[in-house]
Amino acid sequence: MATLAEPETASALDEFRASVRAWLAENFPPALKGKDNAMSAVEGPAELSPEEAAWKKAMGEKGWGVPTWPSEYGGGGLGRAEAKVLAEEMARIGAWNPIGGMGVMMFGPTLLEYGSEEQKREHIPAIARGEVRWCQGYSEPNAGSDLANLQTFAEDMGDHYLVNGQKTWTSGGQWADKCFCLVRTDKSQKQGGISFLLIDMNAPGVEVKPIRMISGMSPFCETFFTDVKVPKSDRVGEEGQGWTIGKRLLQHERTNLSGAGARLMPGGPSLADLAKTYVGTDKDGLIADRELRARITRFEMDWRAFLLTAMRVQAESKAAGGVSEVSSILKTIGTKLGQERSELIIEIAGLQGLGWEGEGFTREEITATRAWLFGKATTIYGGSTEIQNNVIAKRILGMLDHQ
């Protein structure tokens, strides 16, 4: 990936901030202020209003949905300091990033590192514009925590592979255009027999069955491959290199799932604003419930400390050559804090936090309830907390199995 230059002076950064403000004033519709849907990633594609469509198109063409990706592939080409300024200015006016999904969070950064030039030019620009939806083909019924046990097999047919097998927990598989997939190309080796393929979800032989969850949604699927033809040009890296590439992708996934990828507070009103709305204020304008006020304060301190730590860790990892096993620490702490925030929101809303449907609840209240339920999965998917603790113990602390 190209090295991005950082502005050399504070005045250069101030000049960039002014240009960002001017661009946002021209392109972000004020009517969309604070209306990002936190559940959009798991609810599937929705029909966009003219304002939403225009905003997504503008961000896609500017490359600012993926601000630090190289501009030659459709990214913003910004340095870290500039990307931080962009995030701050968007937060200041309640603007949100309409470009997301697994292509941005996981696959894009991995392809920039391991993909061929042809693969980057084919796939990265479409991800940067939010035009193609990707899903992940990793887990199988008997290969979840023990991912190296996967059995989906890609048989070498000369210029292509013939893929047969089953994946599960393929989030958003029913809406995806493409799947980045780990498959076995050699049955005589475990990790060394795995390759990384890009599979067209509309190819003959691909069948997707959504799994209905306790939240009422079906973001997860079972995906079956029967004699699916995959050109060898759609293999990322060398045959047998899939385990290495797959692990790097998981590091990107865990960093983003932790919330550290966002760099700012989660979208929507702050906990303090919600508490003032639902619980009320005292004569000094403070949240009326003193204990709740203290809990919100503790959470905000923990969250900001986490984000600052995440920024430092990511900068150190990048300087050392990329994301590292420290992503397991970020995922463990970040997902725990995310669940704590959801619990606080439901508690603050009281009976209005029990909304599932109906006119007695606002859209935001119903979304909060569903986000609280869906959030229970964050400490499981992307590698459970127990798996992350093992990674931390073995690969960071250097502990042996019996310790």
Q: What distance in Å separates the CA atoms of residue 77 and residue 287, rounded to the nearest whole number?
A: 43
Question: Which residues, 6 or more positions from 306, have their beta carbon under 8 angstroms from its beta carbon?
Answer: 259, 260, 333, 334, 337
Q: What distance in Å separates the CA atoms of residue 193 and residue 204, rounded to the nearest whole number?
A: 25
Q: Which residues are catalytic?
A: 253
Q: What distance in Å separates the CA atoms of residue 150 and residue 139, rounded to the nearest whole number?
A: 7
Q: What distance in Å separates the CA atoms of residue 284 and residue 286, rounded to the nearest whole number?
A: 6
Q: What distance in Å separates the CA atoms of residue 24 and residue 154, rounded to the nearest whole number?
A: 47
| Contact assessment for residue 163 and residue 154, using Cβ atoms and an 8 Å cutoff | yes
Neighbour-count burial of 314, counting CB atoms closer than 10 A to its CB (0-12 exposed, 13-18 middle, 19+ buried): buried
Side-chain half-sphere exposure of 265, counting CA atoms within 13 A: 17
Side-chain half-sphere exposure of 121, counting CA atoms within 13 A: 4
Question: Which residues, 6 or more positions from 176, have their beta carbon under 8 angstroms from its beta carbon?
Answer: 133, 134, 135, 170, 201
For residue 172, give the 3-state DSSP assignment.
coil
Q: Tokens for 342? A: 């959801």
Question: Which residues, 6 or more positions from 98, have their beta carbon under 8 angstroms from its beta carbon?
Answer: 52, 55, 56, 59, 65, 130
For residue 236, give the 3-state DSSP assignment.
strand
